[in-house]
Amino acid sequence: TVPVPSAEPPLRPVVAQLPGYVAGRRASGALTAALASNESHYDPLPSVLEEVREAAGRMNRYPDMGAVQLRERIAAFLGVRPEEVAVGPGSVGVLQQILGATCGPGDEVVFAWRSFEAYPILVSLTGATAVPVPLAADEGHDLEAMAAAVTDRTRAVLVCSPNNPTGTSVPQAALERFLAAVPPHVLVVVDEAYVEFVDEERPLDALALFRAHPNVCVLRTFSKAYGLAGLRVGYAVAHEGLAEGLRKVALPFGVSTVAQRAAIRSLDAAGELRERAAAVAAERRRVVDALRAAGWELPESQANFVWLRAGDALREALTGAFDRAGVLVRAYPGDGVRITLADPATNDRVLAVLADRAAFPA
Ligand code: PMP
């Protein structure tokens, strides 16, 4: 006879200890503006919606596992080869594939902190050790300290530009120096989830670094500027060996037909979507200027959000004030508050909450 188990099967210790990904949540009352997840505030494009409706009619069939058409379109769009593109369920899904294909117990993965909260979770899950390197005083990556944190055990480095949650971008020259300092067997992943919002005069050209360095790979997503967060599709531009490895470790059929078709239609409409992103960037300039004029100190964001560094008292006062205003923002205990940018009227509500720096604790 089979013995009746007395307890549930145990989780791996690393899983039992994981904090888990915490999405934005509202404490009370009616939510009227969701500014906690860096989503697009625009309605889906009619052409994309139509494609989604049409593709949904085939939901009884599995999607194309190789995502051949989508990969070809992405490759043509970026000027790379389809063999150098791997897609996955969101760029976070692709990052899980990257880490799963390259890292394991005994390895180390270096990243800036604070950055995207999924990094330490995904790294720990592989059994590798997360090596967070504090951000510099300007809230940007401290690439010199990150290079110094690379050891014989380092397998990968995650560089987030623009950085979530601080919005800071990594300068090309600094990343070039970093690449020259790091051994070529260390994979350097440049996470460009927010690249479409960058409006710097000389933006980081991560694709050029990909072409010049066999150890660079670039991560992008349809979730932010392309407005497909709910469909889950992201991609990596990776050298052929890694791209092939990513396809091997991918969850079979992880990107739905609906998501693949919507992503292709969105690339058809890239011009229009870029205009939307440019409008968000223009709003960012206005909001940052207004906040500075109101007495707030904040870093130079190149993303679709702004960052207020805050100790506990300020953070609690900020989340309370936003909560009363029906605005959901993302609070990071110990670090600060991140506010996603939206349309001018919604951004004005943010500015109204923050109109007087002196009304908040130091
Ligand atoms: N990278 C960064 C820096 C992000 O902020 C996010 C989303 N918060 C992602 C990747 C993942 O986005 P997705 O999985 O929707 O592509």
Q: Are residue 199 and residue 183 in the same domain, yes or no?
A: yes
Cα(193) to ligand 1 centroid in Å equals: 6
pLDDT band at 31 (very low <50, low <70, confident <90, very high): confident
From 223, 243, 269, give the residue that closes a domain.
269
> Which of the residue ranges 12-26, 270-284, 325-339 would you say has the lowest mean pLDDT?
12-26
pLDDT (tens digit per residue) in 58-70: 999 999 999 999 9
Q: What is the mean pLDDT of residues 339-356?
A: 97
- The structure tokens listed for 295 are 């007495």
Does the structure's ipTM exceed the value 0.90?
yes
Q: Are 158 and 110 in contact (CB under 8 A)?
A: yes
Is the per-residue pLDDT at 27 higher than 80? no
Domain residue limits at 26: 13-44+271-359
Q: Are residue 62 and residue 92 in the same domain, yes or no?
A: yes
- The structure tokens listed for 206 are 């991560």
Q: What is the mean pLDDT of residues 124-131?
A: 97
Cα(166) to ligand 1 centroid in Å equals: 14
Q: What is the mean pLDDT of the chain?
A: 95
CA-atom Rg of the chain in angstroms: 21
Ligand 1 cavity residues, CB under 6 Å: 38, 90-92, 116, 160, 164, 191, 193, 221, 223, 229, 234
Q: What is the mean pLDDT of residues 80-106?
A: 98
Q: For residue 222, what is the domain's CATH number?
A: 3.40.640.10
From 238, 254, 269, give the residue that closes a domain.
269
Q: Work out which ligand 1 atom sits closest to the CA atom of 91.
A: 16
Cα(92) to ligand 1 centroid in Å equals: 6
4 within some domain: no
Q: What is the mean pLDDT of residues 147-175?
A: 98
pLDDT at 29: 61
Q: For residue 324, what is the domain's CATH number?
A: 3.90.1150.10
From 219, 249, 269, give the residue that closes a domain.
269
Q: Work out which ligand 1 atom sits closest to the CA atom of 194.
A: 3
Q: What is the largest CA-CA distance in the chain?
A: 75
Q: Work out which ligand 1 atom sits closest to the CA atom of 93.
A: 14
pLDDT (tens digit per residue) in 207-262: 999 999 999 999 999 999 999 999 999 999 999 999 999 999 999 999 999 999 99
- Say how far apart CA 228 and CA 40 lie, in whole Å: 8
pLDDT at 25: 59
Q: Are residue 72 and residue 215 in the same domain, yes or no?
A: yes
| pTM of the predicted structure, to 2 decimals | 0.96
Q: Are residue 332 and residue 355 in the same domain, yes or no?
A: yes
Cα(163) to ligand 1 centroid in Å equals: 10
